[in-house]
Amino acid sequence: MSKLIVGNLKMNLLTIAERDRYLESFERELKNFPENKAKIILCPPFVHLEKFSEKFKMENVSIGAQNIFWEERGSFTGEISSLMVKNIGCKYVILGHSERRKYFSESGEIINAKIKAALQDNLTPIVCIGESQAERNDGDTAEIIVAQINQSLKDVPISKITEVVFAYEPVWAVGSDAIPTGNDILEVRITIKKTLVEKYGASAAEKVRILYGGSVNSKNVAQVCVEPQMDGVLVGRESLIPNEFLKIVEIINAIRNNE
Ligand code: 13P
């Protein structure tokens, strides 16, 4: 199973010139890159999706959206559907991000509706789950993770579960410089796998990828991804610097080659 390295560019690249500089720099760095076995997924703001899809036609670079609406079309002013992003070249969509839960009050029910819409249109949802600092302090991490998985996967059939990717993103590690220990991450990985085994059986659960996200950089990727045997990473700030982002890819590639 190839590793996934996802860049969540969030609400950045404000001008066309800035976007083009980013694309040029990314392309230049990629040209000098040794053979890449991992899968790179770049998730720019909606307005840049088309340009990114045009630019990256190679097999191991895909494009993802940062959000979708759960309805397919119609009178939903300001919203964008899964079919729209799919038709513009996206293969993935980030859903349930803690910033959307916090600033847009996205509930488990809303996230579940969006996951089902994505799956229906063969878009791979990258579903973010994770505890807040207070929940962690109270020792509730596992409970929160299980609850978020159950809400996310309500009425998701076994035939679709292997298309879902989970990203463990502790809320307190997003945009900070704090990260969990490799062991903490491994424990959450085990909790996620156990929950999936109970719901869908061992053979389906085995095929579901679990990423880590939250303050990932090239210096800590060994601790947050390699050590806890994660299937890749979801990167925020460092994905805005192509050179730094590709350093992360390089480290993950090296592990795979050593496997
Ligand atoms: P940072 O890597 O900037 O902490 O952001 C993580 C994130 O939210 C990725 O979705």
Q: Give the pLDDT confidence of 171-206 residue by residue, as tens digits.
A: 999 999 999 999 999 999 999 999 999 999 999 999
User: pTM score, two decimals?
Assistant: 0.97
Q: Is 175 in the pocket of ligand 1 (CB under 6 A)?
A: yes
Can you list the domains of the chain with their CATH numbers? Answer: 4-257 (3.20.20.70)
Residue 168 has phi, psi (to 5 degrees) of -80, 110
Strands 209-213 and 4-8: what pairing? unpaired
Kindly give the distance from the C-alpha atom of residue 255 to the centroid of ligand 1, in angstroms, as a whole number.
Answer: 22
**Integer CA distances (angstroms), 102 to 24, 131, 248, in order:** 33, 12, 28
pLDDT tens column, 34-85: 788 899 999 999 999 999 999 998 778 999 999 999 999 999 999 999 999 9
pLDDT (mean) for 150-162:
98
The pLDDT assigned to 185 comes to 98
pLDDT for residue 259: 53
pLDDT digits (tens, 9 = 90+) for 244-259: 999 999 999 887 554 5
Indicate the angle between helix axes 242-258 and 16-31, nearest 10 degrees: 30
* Confidence category of residue 12, pLDDT binned at 50, 70, 90: very high
97 a catalytic residue: yes
Annotated active-site residue 238? The verdict is no
From the list 97, 99, 106, 238, the catalytic residue is 97
The average confidence (pLDDT) of the chain is 96
Residue 188: what pLDDT? 98
Maximal CA-CA distance, the chain: 52
How far away, in angstroms, is 105 Cα from ligand 1 center? 19
Residue the block writes with tokens 């759960």: 70
Rg of the chain on CA atoms, in Å: 17
